[in-house]
């Protein structure tokens, strides 16, 4: 392990890739350049660096060396002294400049991805909230329409929904679930009174509480007779 983070490794990779691409673009652009033009370019590079460069310190260095009979010969034709010690990649001017460019680009890319994730999360939460509001409105409308339904009619409605779905419904499966819970105190109690088998993840109602609700229902039935 070299101890470098993913960000650092990615930055180095992109920097080296960009420099390689620039070398390739230099070759394409200067394929028809004269030797004199390449020599003038080499002189400008030396002036910017304030020294005789190594071939790796110049974009297109390998191409220039190939065209002019080697790097030593290229420097001599440009009136430059032999290059000194070859600097490490991270010490080269072209590397530092490209590193800064790639650093800025990578930071921008990461910021855009982060903002994109945040925006996606906001959109998901907004959709969830909108869905909840729609369900709430439908529940309210259903409750208004069925507010005078008897307990038995509501229980029959639950059985019908179970038949339609092919399984015992959860609250989310039933329009008007809020009203049904208000009427029977718990969803599990409503399902039990409707004679439906409880899903494994719904806890059976407390027997004492179930009996109390059943007593209230019986009382309401007596009043309606």
Contacts of 48 (CB under 8 A, 6+ apart): 93
Q: What is the pLDDT of residue 85?
A: 92
Question: Tokens 């001599």, residue?
Answer: 76
* pTM, to two decimals: 0.60
Q: What is the pLDDT of residue 151?
A: 93
DSSP-H helix ranges across the chain: 6-29, 35-49, 61-67, 71-77, 93-145, 151-165, 177-184, 187-193, 207-224
Contacts of 189 (CB under 8 A, 6+ apart): 205, 209, 210, 213
Q: What is the pLDDT of residue 135?
A: 81
Query: Domain-by-domain residue ranges, the chain?
Result: 6-107, 146-224
In the chain, which residues have pLDDT < 50?
A: none
Average pLDDT, the chain: 92
Biggest alpha carbon distance in the chain? 116
Measure the CA–CA gap between 58 and 109, rounded to whole angstroms: 28
pLDDT in tens, 23-51: 999 999 999 999 999 999 999 999 999 99
Q: What is the pLDDT of residue 22?
A: 97
């Amino acid at each position: 392990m070299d101890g470098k983070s993913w960000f650092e490794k990615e930055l180095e990779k992109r920097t080296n890739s960009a420099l390689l691409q620039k070398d390739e673009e230099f070759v394409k652009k200067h394929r028809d350049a004269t030797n004199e033009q390449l020599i003038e370019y080499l002189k400008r590079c030396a002036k910017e660096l304030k020294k005789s460069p190594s071939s790796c310190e110049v974009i297109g260095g390998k191409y220039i060396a190939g065209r002019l009979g080697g790097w030593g010969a290229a420097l001599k034709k440009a009136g430059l002294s032999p290059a000194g010690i070859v600097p490490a990649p991270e010490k080269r001017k072209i590397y530092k400049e490209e590193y800064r460019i790639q650093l800025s680009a990578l930071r921008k890319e990461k910021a855009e991805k982060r903002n994109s994730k945040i925006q996606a999360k906001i959109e998901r939460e907004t959709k969830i909230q909108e869905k909840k509001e729609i369900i709430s409105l439908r529940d309210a409308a259903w409750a208004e329409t069925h507010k005078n339904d008897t307990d038995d009619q509501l229980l029959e409605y639950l059985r019908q929904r179970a038949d339609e779905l092919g399984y015992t419904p959860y609250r989310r499966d039933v329009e008007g679930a809020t009203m049904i819970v208000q009427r029977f105190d718990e969803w599990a109690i409503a399902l039990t009174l409707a004679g439906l088998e409880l899903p494994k993840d719904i806890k059976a109602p407390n027997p004492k509480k179930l009996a109390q609700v059943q007593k209230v229902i019986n009382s309401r039935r007596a009043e309606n007779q």
